[in-house]
Copies of this chain bind each other. A is one copy, B any other.
């Protein structure tokens, strides 16, 4: 990739207006004290007005609010946090913000926090426990009121206990470390995988494979769900190819290995929609038609699923809602740190589209292209 182009000097005329302005409204050094003087009341009264206390008389409140407007006062939350107990900030750690799933989740978090006057620090751990650790330390230094954590792979499970020892409320999201009780928001990934298998079985499939996953709770749960569902239906065939990661590329590779085996699966459950897209592409490249020659089902129900070719049947996991719920749970925990730990589980939802074809289609063996 080429270097960026930078435009430093511009033309001489522009330079003047390109200097920082020296307007008299200089970066606000106007304080409570100034407002108090202007409104002829005490600092304390102004403080009460700012916090919308019912104690202060209407006339006084209005007078103070006038002064605030006139002088262009900006509340200093840092100073307030120093004396008071809360900062109205939260730390949020995800491991891959470029993944639209987490994008939606963060959008949900943001919406819920915004309503309550909170703002959030965001960090992208890139699945590195070291980066995650550094960020958490910074969050402590900034005295955030709580933490929303999607733990990085291979995080020391002791981390949550450490956090609670430090008195830092922490909600785990999607993934979790160690065992309950803890605060958690996510979906039931065992159930997700079970629903996928159930749907395929209901379409008549007997040889159902599972592809994709990584070494973390969300994958383990899916694998467990896959196997439990097969057990329940008394199906002997099972083929669990974990691969390395949850990307299109992984799906693309794994499906090819899988379809060269004999007997072939007639259906495949994918760790998520990205893996499923990769798998569908792989099938096409082998001359097989997804939905007819092999049923494909994804999980997450990302936006692309609906407009895929064929449209992908998927188990929706509602990341936006999970984000909202996680944020709300965090606020509850902050308000009541000693309270009972909670888990908020969003129920998954089956979205039937065309990538699993019809029962008749799916059972028929297609001769190999070679």
Q: Does A358 contact B (CB under 8 A)?
A: no
B-contacting 9-mer, from A213-221, A232-240, A291-299, A341-349: A341-349
* Residue contact B344 to A6, C-beta cutoff 8 Å: yes
Do A103 and B111 form a contact, CB below 8 Å, given A23-B165, A119-B135, A304-B304?
A: no
Q: Does A243 contact B (CB under 8 A)?
A: no
* Residue contact A307 to B248, C-beta cutoff 8 Å: yes
Interface string of A261-284 (1 = CB under 8 A from B): 000000000000000011001001
A146 to B151, CA, bound (A): 29
Q: Which of A1-59 contact B (CB under 8 A)?
A: 1-2, 4-10, 14-15, 17-21, 23, 25-28
Chain A residues touching B, majority SS: mixed
* Residue contact B143 to A124, C-beta cutoff 8 Å: no
Q: Does A87 contact B (CB under 8 A)?
A: yes
Copies of this chain, whole number: 2
For residue A28, which residues in chain B have a CB less than 8 angstroms away from its CB? Answer: 140, 166-167
State which of B79, B103, B252 has its C-beta within 8 Å of the C-beta of A100. Answer: B103
CB distance from A119 to the nearest CB of B (A): 5
For residue A168, which residues in chain B have a CB less than 8 angstroms away from its CB? Answer: 27
* Residue contact B78 to A106, C-beta cutoff 8 Å: no
* Residue contact B124 to A8, C-beta cutoff 8 Å: no
Interface string of A326-346 (1 = CB under 8 A from B): 000000000001101111111
Q: Does A198 contact B (CB under 8 A)?
A: no
CB distance from A177 to the nearest CB of B (A): 15
